[in-house]
Structure 1
């Protein structure tokens, strides 16, 4: 009897050891999978930032080429007019022609300054007899230029912001504390990223309301557009309402960091089709993602 109990005890212990070993192996595998998934997410974010930067460069290059072409055509027409004036009117109109030429050159300088602004420079104007500067920052999304924001810096002592029209929900004071005194270009670049990301998030919602108003409804959104709730209808037989919550934890990005899908049908959001849609919203602007779902017939 004692031998049977001893054998049973050893068998139980061996079985527990096997279970413990399997649990340890499973835990390591899960940890490895999480690390790999985190690495994949980081790479996807990097790719998304590079793509956004590429699109901005393309838009700026296209705008610059258009301005240069327009400027060249204008210069050619003015030079031809100048030559015609000299040949037809003679020397009596030399003064007027020279004045016209100076006006053309002035216009050319203004065009170059505008081109500099469009390709990512900042319009800077001296104020208060050189003791301050006024800086303009333009915002754009998908090649469309939107609002321009301004701030005035006092340079008399330590650099400080005296006036601005930056929206109150942009962390201007925090950015100034980190960058303003030591890295003005870094401060302007970071501030521009926040403003452009805000403009991009807001523009996506505007496009949804304009283009997809019959299919997608904006249920909730705040002033910063970093938390948005959208609703649409599944086009399947169930015709269930689908609720999308887009959260933008990184305020310098116009793409969400988290997307959740809810429905009356608890199984529907976990289907492969809607899982793919959830992933699409993480790497594609909301209006473009929902437009793709509409074209594919996934939403009504």
Structure 2
């Protein structure tokens, strides 16, 4: 009897458990259906957003091609086919702004890649023209231009770089194909070094009338000056040599005085030698005049 009674209780408990699970399943079904509907709606919204993004991207590409073509042809007005896009609509105006924004971002990225040099498109988009501006003591001097063809490899097609600047050597030394920015930096240093030395020579002639320029070359890498010592009106020949063509300061200074052979080795003129090595020549001559080393 006991065994039968126990089995009856267990069967009853099992039946109750089945009924409870059934009720729980019925209660869960509406919430699961609601959750699935929400997921479907979210996916539908995501699909529509992706379609809109694809359409916007296509329109942006068309506008970018149109803008690039207009830039090459020098046109100012935007021309888009009316059947594809209404220019007076707010959406089309927004798209044009977005296209202009991406165009400016691309130009800014290119500007950053080449080290901040000013560039313009050339050869119908197949090349670029790079402008290299020189300056000395905060004054802008000459600007040089160089046209680079980008296809199939980077090469210089036209330029107005002075012939005494070792352009071919700089191309060979720097890997222009892999790092055009490094090549432009080296070239810019040579151009600014030359411009700085040339400007110093100009200032010497303008500021120091008593100093005679006996010799200088086109690269301004050699400068021979005739200096006059005040007391005995002794002439001193000063030769400045600039072996580092990227710099504006000389790498060697020599004095020659036939009337007083010991003068170049005197402490005062050794100090003048150091001054000319460390200071731009026009400023050094001004300092030498203040100490009455020269007239």
> TM-score band, normalised by the shorter chain?
0.5 to 0.7
**What 5-or-longer segments of structure 2 have no aligned partner?**
1-103
Structure number with the higher helix fraction is 1
The higher radius of gyration belongs to 2
Which residue of the other structure, out of 157, 164, 168, is the alignment partner of 1:162? 157
Residue matched to 2:194: 198
**What 5-or-longer segments of structure 1 have no aligned partner?**
1-108
Residue matched to 1:262: 256
CA distance in 1, matches of 2:239, 2:152: 46
Residue matched to 2:233: 239
What is the deviation of 1:157?
A: 1.1
What is the deviation of 1:129?
A: 2.0
CA distance in 2, matches of 1:148, 1:163: 15
TM-score, structure 2 length as denominator?
0.60
What is the deviation of 1:182?
A: 2.1
What secondary structure is seen at the aligned counterpart in 2 of 1:266? coil
Superposition misfits of 4+ residues, deviation over 3 angstroms = none
Residue matched to 1:133: 128
1:123 and 2:124 are equivalent in the alignment:
no
What is the deviation of 1:235?
A: 1.6
What is the deviation of 1:183?
A: 1.3
CA distance in 2, matches of 1:184, 1:194: 16
Deviations 1:195-223 (CA, angstroms, capped at 9, x unpaired): 0000000000000000111x211100000
Written as runs of structure 1 = structure 2, the 5 A alignment for 1:135-154 is: 135-154=130-149
What secondary structure is seen at the aligned counterpart in 2 of 1:249? coil
CA distance in 2, matches of 1:247, 1:195: 17
CA distance in 1, matches of 2:185, 2:118: 13
What is the deviation of 1:156?
A: 1.2
TM-score, structure 1 length as denominator?
0.59
What is the deviation of 1:121?
A: 2.5
